[in-house]
Structure 1
Amino acid sequence: MANLLSDDSPTNLTEFSVSELSGSIKRTVETAFDHVRVRGEISGYRGPHSSGHAYFALKDDRSRIDAVIWKGNFSKLKHRPEEGMEVIATGRVSTFPGSSKYQIIIETIEPAGAGALMALIEERKRKLGAEGLFDASRKQLLPFMPKVIGVVTSPTGAVIRDILHRISDRFPVHVVVWPVKVQGEGCGHEVASAINGFNAMTPGGPIARPDVLIVARGGGSLEDLWGFNDEIVVRAAAASEIPLISAVGHETDWTLIDYAADVRAPTPTGAAEMAVPVKVELEAQVANLAARLSGASSRQMDLRRQNVRALARALPSLDQLLALPRRRFDEAAAGLGRGLERNTIAKRHGFEKVATRLTPDTLSRRFSDWRNRLNERSALSDRILERLIDRQRARLDRFDATLSAVPSRLTAQIDRSRDRFDALSRRAESAVSNDLRRARQMLSAQERMLQSLSYKNVLNRGYAVIRDENDKPVSRAASLLDGQRIAIEFGDGRVDAVTGEGAGGPVAGSGGASPKKAAAAKSSVKEAKQRSPVSDNPPPKQGSLF
């Protein structure tokens, strides 16, 4: 029994290598399942690989099968795979010998029924809505009167003819059509490229940049309108800088581009009506506004004319306007003379106040100071000049002693320098002499002026100055008392006297007058008192000596 079960027992089974067995299984599977349709839920989908192929799995509640879509087929798919999407995949089953796995190679894919499509639309709507692509704050206002309208639709359908006909009836403007497929594979990519292309146009370019866009298509089933539910189309519509009108299908048809567009139109014809106003209505409105403006202008002009007339009647006459300025001018002219008189009196008082401070004694002291200062400066200049001459002479003597050993060819130059020095010395002496002479002449002139202004010249003409015991001038007789000692100054000297009758004999004057002259002066005073006794009215004040 053991021998029968040993490995060395002969057998009639064919021996295969691993590669041969794997290849045989691969051919068998591909032959038996060369074209199959599988219904299941997409699982593990992460988008296309860097190579362009898509790898995921199809599963149901009990089993799972790997799936792959090659790069060439992936770009042709009408419906792109999404995670959790229930689909019907058409393709063939193959094996991968390297890992003993089998997979389905998908050629086409489609949602599993209309309910699945609606569920996919709702899921995509929630996703894009969460990103804010459908927010009302992103919506733009349509221009009231666009100059250029861009239309994204099929160039051969009835939609473009309806749009052009409606625009030409309402308000003819320039229309730019971007032809695209509106159904089938690649529809979404072409519509998104058209929207992005219109936005990429530059103003003033060879093709006019539209002011508003219309994305239009006629009615159809959910599958026919599926291209306008693509995510790429929705994102392009939301990112459009040009206001966009969505007119896809009939009024009851809704696609995701309707939520992302700035305005949704129920039909393509309705989109044309939203894009442009009615020209006839605008012309009628403009005519109505022009008539109202003309009437308002006329009424306003009449009102302004009445206001001007009323204001003209309220304006005063020219005499009334000039009465107040004329009165002010007369008052100013009348007060000008009084103002000049008061100004003259004020100036005279100021001059007299200054003149009281200007006395002969002040001038004498000032002239004496100037004379002493001039004499000091003259003596100082003489001493300075003498020192300078002595210093230059000593310097010249040193130069003579130094240059005595100089050759004879320098003798002429030394003589010229000595002559120049002598000339400068003479000029300096002459300049100093001239300065001293001018200073003496100025001092003499000032002294003559002082003598001419001195009150002693008045005394030499026969007048006298009465001074009290404090040597102050007496200007009124009433200010003297009987028996008061006074001094009378004449042009040639002074005489002392006593006021009143019966006073003592005269005292020798300080000016060196003789006793005879003093007696004569005393008798003159007595006679003057007898002839003109002191009255209650004081004599007039002595005038200025100047």
Structure 2
Amino acid sequence: MAETPATNAAEFTVSEISLALKRTVEENFGYVRVRGEVSGYRGPHSSGHAYFALKDDRAKLEAVIWKMTFQRLRFRPEEGLEVIATGKLTTFPGSSKYQIVIDSLEPAGAGALMALLEERRRRLAAEGLFDAARKRPIPYLPRVIGVVTSPTGAVIRDILHRLADRFPVHVLVWPVRVQGETAAAEVAAAIAGFNALPAGGRIPRPDVLIVARGGGSLEDLWAFNEEVVVRAAAASAIPLISAVGHETDTTLIDHAADLRAPTPTGAAEMAVPVRSVLVAAVGDLARRLESGALRGIEQRRREVRALARGLPRLDDLLAIPRRAFDEWATRLDRALAASAFAHKARLGRVEARFTPACLERIVGRARERLALAADRKGRALERSVERRRATFLRASGRLRIEPVAERLRRAAERAETLDRRAFTAFCRSAERSRERMDRLWRLAETLSYKAVLARGFALVTDSDGAPVKTAVAVSPGMALTIRFQDGPVGATAAGSPAEPAERPKPAPAAPKKSSSARSGQGSLF
């Protein structure tokens, strides 16, 4: 067995070496600032932590951002972005790697911020968030204006002062931070909060929104370049005016807003018109309206007077009708007197014929005729009753009750048998008639000219609808109708046909057979 060579080197376990390396790295470096390009970033893990790497052209350093730190970052890492990370350098014994635990992250200089801003602008523009077609007009006279800005800065005072000078309206201020880690989330929440207010609620819903902030550097205005703010502005159902920074400052919310103002004061001027100018304009319009109305009334008065002079007088219009009325009234009196006299004379003539003696004679003659008719009817009724009684007695002497009942029973049975036979014969006759009709119908369809048309032939008729059977019957210029399977077509004969050598003799007509001769049962049709 080989002996182990003697040595004075100390032995360490793997854990001891890993812990020693960890202490050495953390004690010698501590907090460092590392500049590199983000590599392998796929967004935060399900746990909320973010894992990626920082690299340059010669080395690579693993990096991690814990969940609470990641939520506080001013802007999030993106693949390929060059950043400056500040954090603590440490090791991960489980995989023998060293890494940096990042506490803060920022782009590597203004150039990187501009590159990030331009890339984000192109991506959001590709989604259609900056399209001019989706921008809405600003209301001309808003009743309520919502302002999203810091409540302690000079911006809100400038906006309120400008609104009071131009057109005092109801202003709602949603206080937010306009710079810092939580500024973007607060601005986006304020825009969404104003849009969530119900119409007609306890808090009035704004007619227009103003998102405002004073001037500053690109880093100071970066919250208004965040994607969450841009999407909130684009999704706002209330028209939105962006007033971030000075006139030369441009942020992404300016592209998504419905209107961009150069300054917060300019946003107030764009939101409302000048009240004094409106009052003067309304007064001028009122004076012009009053003057126009007076001129119109005077013009109509002159026209009415001119038309009145052309109208005839009332007495002239009523003279002829009044005279005709008087004439008809005079004639009516005379006509009523003459009619009453004529009716009185006629009544006198009729009255002479209807004396009491005359009426008594008429009634007596009627009574005699009635008595004579009643006597004749009574005697005739008695004779009829006697004849019917004698006839009944003779018939009842010949009848016997039992033979009559037997004959009635046999007659009933015979009638029932005949009824069944008649019904059976009727059914057989109807079935034979139906079959014969079906055969005739199929034969008619086979011999119909429509079946011939379906095979490619055509039917030629003249203007009266009569079929043209020979070419000799067609004369030049004759109007014809050619009927195909799918419909008729009008035509005109262009020339006369050639005379045929010999006309075919018509075939003798075959004698018609009676349908009753083919069947013993008579046809029901």
Give the match for residue 215 of structure 2. 219
Structure 1 residue 325, shift from structure 2 partner: 9.0
Offset of residue 95 of structure 1: 2.1
> Aligned partners of 1:64 and 1:323: how far apart in 2?
121
Are positions 1:266 and 2:266 aligned together?
Answer: no
Structure 1 match to 2:104: 108
Q: Find the aligned partners of 1:384 and 1:164 in 2 and give their Cα distance.
A: 129
2-structure distance, mates of 1:58, 1:324: 117
Q: Could you say what secondary structure the match of 1:124 adopts?
A: helix
Q: CA deviation at 1:30?
A: 2.2
SS in 2 for 1:47: coil
Once the two structures are superposed, the pairs formed by residues 345-356 of structure 1 within 5 Å of their partners are none
Q: How many residues are matched?
A: 347
Q: Which residue of 226, 237, 240 maps to 2:236?
A: 240
Deviations 1:36-55 (A, max 9, x none): 11111112222222211111
In the other structure, the counterpart of 1:473 is none
Unpaired runs of 5+ residues, structure 2, are 326-375, 397-525
What is residue 454 of structure 2 aligned with on the other side?
Answer: none
Rate the CA distance shift 1:126–1:326 in 2: closer, same or farther, 3 A.
farther
Residues 1:185 and 1:326: Cα distance change in structure 2 (over 3 Å): same
- Residue 208 (str. 1) matches residue 225 (str. 2): no
Find the counterpart in structure 1 of residue 295 from structure 2: 299
Whole-angstrom distance in 2 between the partners of 1:80 and 1:232: 12
Q: 1:313 to 1:30 in 2, by over 3 A?
A: same
Counterpart amino acid of 1:143?
A: P
Unaligned ranges ≥5, structure 1: 330-373, 395-546
Query: What are the Cα deviations for residues 258-298 of structure 1, in whole angstroms up to 9, with x where unaligned?
Result: 11111111111111111111111111111100000000100
Aligned residue type for 1:257: I
Change (3 A) 1:14 1:295: same
Partner of 1:26: 22
Q: CA-to-partner distance for each residue in 1:62-86, whole Å, 9 max, x for gaps?
A: 3222211101101111221112211
Alignment match, 2:192: 196
Q: Output aligned runs, 1:143-158, within 5 Å.
A: 143-158=139-154
Aligned equivalents of 1:327, 1:240: Cα separation in 2: 83
Within the candidate set 45, 48, 58, 1:49 is matched to: 45
1:179 corresponds to which residue?
175
User: Which of 243, 246, 251 is the equivalent residue of 2:247?
Assistant: 251
Larger Rg: 1
What are the superposed Cα offsets for residues 467-488 of structure 1, whole Å, 9 maximum, x if unpaired? xxxxxxxxxxxxxxxxxxxxxx
Report the CA distance between 1:384 and its aligned residue: 12
Amino acid at match of 1:98: G
5 Å-filtered alignment, 1:273-288, equals 273-288=269-284
Residues 1:290 and 1:12: Cα distance change in structure 2 (over 3 Å): same
Shift, 1:7, TM fit = 7.0
- What is the TM-score when the length of structure 2 is the normalising length? 0.61
TM-score w.r.t. the length of structure 1 is: 0.58
Equivalent residue, structure 2, for 1:138: 134
2:179 aligned partner, one-letter code: Q
Q: Distance in 1 between matches of 2:318 and 2:214?
A: 87
Q: 1:303 to 1:36 in 2, by over 3 A?
A: same
Instruction: Note the C-alpha offset of 1:385.
Output: 10
Q: Counterpart in 1 of 2:63?
A: 67
* Pairwise CA distance, 1:308: 2.3
Name the CA distance, whole Å, in 1 between partners of 2:318 and 2:263.
80
* Residue 58 (structure 1) shift: 1.4
Whole-Å Cα distance in 2 between the matches of residues 48 and 36 of structure 1?
23
Q: Deviations over 1:202-253 (max 9, x none)?
A: 1222222111111111111111111111110111111111111111111001
Specify the alignment match of 2:473 in structure 1. Answer: none
Provide the C-alpha distance between the structure 2 equivalents of 1:244 and 1:91, rounded to a whole number of angstroms. Answer: 40
* Partner of residue 170 from structure 1, selected from 163, 166, 171: 166
- Report the CA distance shift for 1:12/1:279 in structure 2 as closer, same or farther (over 3 A): same
Aligned to 1:448: none
**Distance change (3 Å), C-alpha of 1:64 and 1:379:** farther
- 1:16 pairs, out of 4, 12, 26, with 12
User: Match of 1:184, as an amino acid?
Assistant: G
Q: Does the alignment pair 1:309 with 2:293?
A: no
Q: Specify the alignment match of 2:86 in structure 1.
A: 90
Q: CA distance change for structure 1 residues 388 and 232 in 2, over 3 Å: closer, same or farther?
A: farther
Q: Taking structure 1 as reference, are residues 26 and 293 closer, same or farther at Cα in structure 2, changes over 3 Å only?
A: same
Look up the match of 2:355.
Answer: none
Aligned runs of 1:120-135 on 2, under 5 Å?
A: 120-135=116-131
Q: What code does the residue aligned with 2:171 have?
A: V
Q: Distance in 2 between matches of 1:94 and 1:19?
A: 15
SS of the equivalent of 2:61 reads: strand
1:381 deviation in Å?
A: 11
User: Residues 348-497 of structure 1: matches in 2 within 5 Å?
Assistant: 382=384, 386=388
